[in-house]
Amino acid sequence: MGRLYSALRCLVLGLGALLLAACASGPAPISPETPEASERSSNVPTPAVPSTKPETPAVSPVDRLLEQAKTLRQEGDLPASFARLERALRIAPQRAEVYLELALSHVAAGSPERASASAERGLLYCNGSTCRELRRFIDS
């Protein structure tokens, strides 16, 4: 009986090891000829191809406010134009373009002395053509 028990025990252990080895290897691969393989390949999403279009550069908040102020000034809505310019000055107090638009808005409002004062302040931060445009308000 002892030998039979021993042989049976070896057989059970061997079968257990075989089962464990089969589970560890994973599922069997599917050949491309089977219908399951073609179904799987058709359901697999294709990766998205990145767009090759160049991105437009982002417009800064100050530039956006300057454009709005200019449009509002040209439309005659000076209070709204000044409100945009005040906001632009809080964001970027060293941008000469803001002082230039402020001077233009003061001229449109009939305040040449305020336009001159804005232009003088803008001269502290200007360069190139912006300086020439700001000087026009001081010289006149």
User: Tokens in use for 19?
Assistant: 């089962």
| pTM of the predicted protein model | 0.60
For the chain, first and last CA: distance in Å? 123
| 100: confidence class by pLDDT, cuts 50, 70, 90 | very high
- pLDDT value at residue 109: 96
CA atoms within a 13 Å half-sphere pointing along the CA-CB vector of 132? 2
| 58: confidence class by pLDDT, cuts 50, 70, 90 | confident
Distance CA 73, CA 78 (A): 5
The predicted-structure confidence for 122-131, as pLDDT tens digits, reads as follows 999 988 899 9
Architecture of domain 61-139: Alpha Horseshoe (1.25)
The predicted-structure confidence for 16-49, as pLDDT tens digits, reads as follows 555 455 555 555 555 555 555 455 555 656 666 6
